[in-house]
Structures are given as structure tokens and as C-alpha cells.
Amino acid sequence: MKHVAISLGASSPLAIRADHAPGGMVTASYISGSTFLGSLAAAHRMVRAERTQEFEQLFLSGEILYSNLYPAAFKKQWMENTANPVYPVPLTAQSCKRHKGFLPLNPEDEDDEHHGVRDTLFDWAIYKKMEASNFSSTSPKVLQQRLQVLQQYKECSTCKAAMDHFDGYYRRETVEPYLPHSAVIDSHKRLRTHTGINRGLGSVQEGILYNRQVFEEDMRFWGEVRLPDNKQVADAFSTFMDEVGSGGWVRIGAGRSRGMGKVTFSAEEMEQDENPFAAFKIRLQRFNQELQRHMKEQVDHGAAIEPDPFYFAITLHSPLILCDDRLRYYGTLDGNTVMQLANISSPSFTLLYQAASTRRVMGWNELWGMPREHEYATDTGSVFLYTCTEIPGDSILRALYQIEEQGIGRRKAEGFGRILFSDPFHLEVNLR
């Protein structure tokens, strides 16, 4: 598949209503794939109303996988112009509760103090393996060893404040030491005050005043659209995006009749490795080697751990809507489910640890002018760690590579079901 980077900027205030927002005041922190797709479809009906076949190819066939657009406003101006991906921070990330955030490249340029961010997935993996190896043991020494794995980063090494969960969005550099940078969101939001309208008179209703949270005009977002290996579809998509992207035809979010929601964007094909599958294998092998090394260090310190042959993780980069044959929603992603999705029967995968949450998905169908059905999804940033009974061969790894490329679950064309195997972020065991 071809990967196309979408760089979008707000030309007017942007209001994206968050699910369950009280009174519609709070705006979401990103532009969902459903919202982006619907806005493009509305623009296509205005500028190319006669091209019905093209409309079907771009928006109804499901061949093009649109994505969520995540905040891409960074304090370093050069970070805003790069085409490097923007990803959500996994649920396993933690930072100082008092001074959250990644370590700055130059502390003198920072207004706020940040003490770094690290990932805890390896800690939990070692804890779970120690728990399994000593399941029936109540020895104080064994219990102390297990708790020590999690408590060694209980406090910030700089200020001794408690470590806490860290969320948001980040972008990594492409060269060593691959330092991540956190996206700036709150400083690009403000409240707009509006007056209520009397529906009968069509004039201002006395006593009705409300606020709506919006993104400011200079806010930027980044997303990744995946195109099929079909030149006709790819060319039609590229031509359409060039036409409406810079022409100001696209409106996104609420308040469009009040001058809000105007955006401009560009679509550029991303540079890919000459052999993407080889890069995929290297990523999984490196993750497994690093986790094995951390477990060996615990064994050298006297911990009773029996490492498995192979470990890999799945990190959700967008909400995942997954149902069984009876249309019951999944709240987790166990090993058998992954094997079914990849259509493999062996070797066996076992879920060792998960950090996951669920959410209700709501929305509005722009094409039909109707609300969407409410669905339940495993939320963005959820992490699942698996063990494998043997080192998987190329055929197994290629099956996993395919589901990473195509996504899993329902509504993949709207940005749902984006996953990444063995996210390199989990290797950040030290504060960065």
C-alpha cells in the first residue's frame, strides 16, 4: 500500500465536539478519520458533483484507509514542517507528576520544566513473568523482588515527586538519539462566546449566552492515508486532494455557518523503506531482544524467571472496534483473536499483559445526514503484550505485517483499527 502524509492547518477557529462533552463546550484533541472523510466527501460533492464513480472509489468502496489527524503543533518550528509521523502516547507511558513532559533538547528555550517520559511495558512484563514463575510462593523475598520491579521508578529521579500516567501525542526524530517531542495542545485552544438565537423570531434570545472551546487558527494536524496499489484510484485521490487542499473548499467540525472550520492541507507520499517487511522484522526482533535482555538482568540478580522464546506487543494508534460472530464488542485483544485476525494456526500466542481502556464511539454521517449508531471500542494507546511458544518464521511475520498494514476490526476506512507491532516507544525504559 502507498502511505500518504496529510499535513493540515486551521485557517479559522476549529471546533471538533468531543463525545459526551457537556453542553458541547469541550472540543476533541484530534480530528477523527470519520470527520475528515465526511468533510472531504462534502467538498467532492461541491466541486465534482458529476463524477459519481470517482466519489464511490474515494469514499464508499473502502479501498482508501483514511486516518485520524493528530495534533502536530510543536514548540520547535522545524518540528512542525517535518513529515515524520505523529503518534499517540501509549497507556504504558509515565512521567513526573509535578513536571510532566519529554526532556527538552535545550532547557534554556523551555518556559516550563520537564523531567522526562519513560515506558513501563518491560517492567510489567518482568513482573508478570515473576508472578507466573512464583505463583504459589508466599516467600517475603519473592514478593519483594516482584514489587521492586515496579517500585524502582515510583518516584521521579529529579524531584522525588510521584510518577504518574502521561498521555498526549508525540513525534520522534529520524536520527540518533531519536528524541521524542510532545505535541502542544492546550496553548492552542481558547473559548469563544456565542449568543443564543430565538427560533421563532430569528434574533438574539435574551439571557442565553454560551461558550465553545475551539482550536486557534494556527493549529496543525498530521495524519496518514493508505492507498491501494491501484494507479487509477491513487491518481484520482492525489488530483482531488491537490484541488481542494489549497483551495479552501474543506470545512471541518461544528460552527461552519459561523465562519469556523476552514482548513487547508497538503498530501505528500511518504518515503518508505526499500523492503518494508524487512524493516518490520527488524523492529520485532529488536523488541524481543531488548525484553529478553531485561529479563536476563533480573535473573542475574536472583529473580526466578523463565523467559519465553519470543515476545511482541500491539499498540493501538486509533480506537479499535472489534466484534465476535454475535456482534458483541471486544474489550481486549487476546492471543487467539490475533491468530484469527492473521489467519494463522501456529505457533500459539498468549496474552501476558495489557494496559487497555474502552470508550463509546458516536458521530454523525455527513453523507446520509443522520447520526451514526453508537459503538464501543478499545481506546487509542492501549497496549497488549504477547508471548509466543516458538520464534515465528517469515510466513507468520508476514501475516502479522499484513494486518498492521491493512488494520483490523470495523470501519477501517474511517481510521479505526490502526495498530503497530512492537512500537519502538516501548524501548524507552529510561527517562527521555
Are residues 117 and 166 in contact, defined by beta-carbon separation less than 8 angstroms? yes
Q: How many Cα atoms sit within 13 Å of 311 on the Cβ side?
A: 24
- Decide which of 392 and 184 is more confident: 392
Share of the chain above pLDDT 90, in %: 52
Calculate mean pLDDT across residues 326-340: 93
pLDDT band at 135 (very low <50, low <70, confident <90, very high): low
Fold of 276-427: Immunoglobulin-like (2.60.40)
Are residues 1 and 77 in contact, defined by beta-carbon separation less than 8 angstroms? no
What's the grid cell of residue 251?
470545512
pLDDT of 176 strictly over 60 = no
pLDDT of residue 190: 85
- Decide which of 418 and 258 is more confident: 418
Residue 206: how many CB atoms within 10 A of its CB? 9
13-64, pLDDT tens digit by residue?
A: 998 877 655 554 677 889 999 999 999 999 999 999 999 999 999 999 999 9
- Decide which of 275 and 133 is more confident: 275
Main-chain dihedrals φ then ψ at residue 375, nearest 5 degrees = -130, 165
Structure letter (DSSP) for residue 413: G
184-242, pLDDT tens digit by residue?
A: 787 788 888 878 888 888 888 888 887 888 899 889 999 999 999 889 999 999 999 99
237-295, pLDDT tens digit by residue?
A: 999 999 999 888 899 988 888 888 899 999 999 888 889 999 999 999 999 999 999 88
141-171, pLDDT tens digit by residue?
A: 666 666 676 677 788 888 888 999 999 999 8
Alpha helix ranges (H) inside 48-165: 52-55, 77-81, 121-133, 140-151
pLDDT band at 313 (very low <50, low <70, confident <90, very high): very high
Amino acid at 253: G
Which of the given ranges, 127-131, 134-138, 339-343, has the highest pLDDT on average?
A: 339-343
Prediction pTM value: 0.91
- Decide which of 358 and 182 is more confident: 358
d(CA 414, CA 38): 9
pLDDT of residue 301: 67
pLDDT of residue 133: 65
Buried/exposed 171-188: b ≥16 CB within 10 Å, e otherwise:
bbeeeeeeebbbbbbeeb
2-73+185-269 is a CATH 3.30.70 domain? yes
**Mean pLDDT for the chain overall:** 86
What's the grid cell of residue 387?
508471548
- Decide which of 250 and 174 is more confident: 250
pLDDT band at 111 (very low <50, low <70, confident <90, very high): low
d(CA 303, CA 139): 13
What's the burial of 261, exposed, middle or buried (CB within 10 Å: 0-12/13-18/19+)? buried
Calculate mean pLDDT across residues 331-359: 94
Calculate mean pLDDT across residues 81-98: 87
d(CA 427, CA 37): 34
**Widest pairwise Cα distance in the chain:** 79
How long, in residues, is the chain?
A: 432
pLDDT of residue 371: 82
Domain locations in the chain? 2-73+185-269, 276-427
pLDDT band at 404 (very low <50, low <70, confident <90, very high): very high
pLDDT of 138 strictly over 60 = no
pLDDT of residue 114: 85
Q: Decide whether 2-73+185-269 matches 276-427 in CATH topology.
A: no
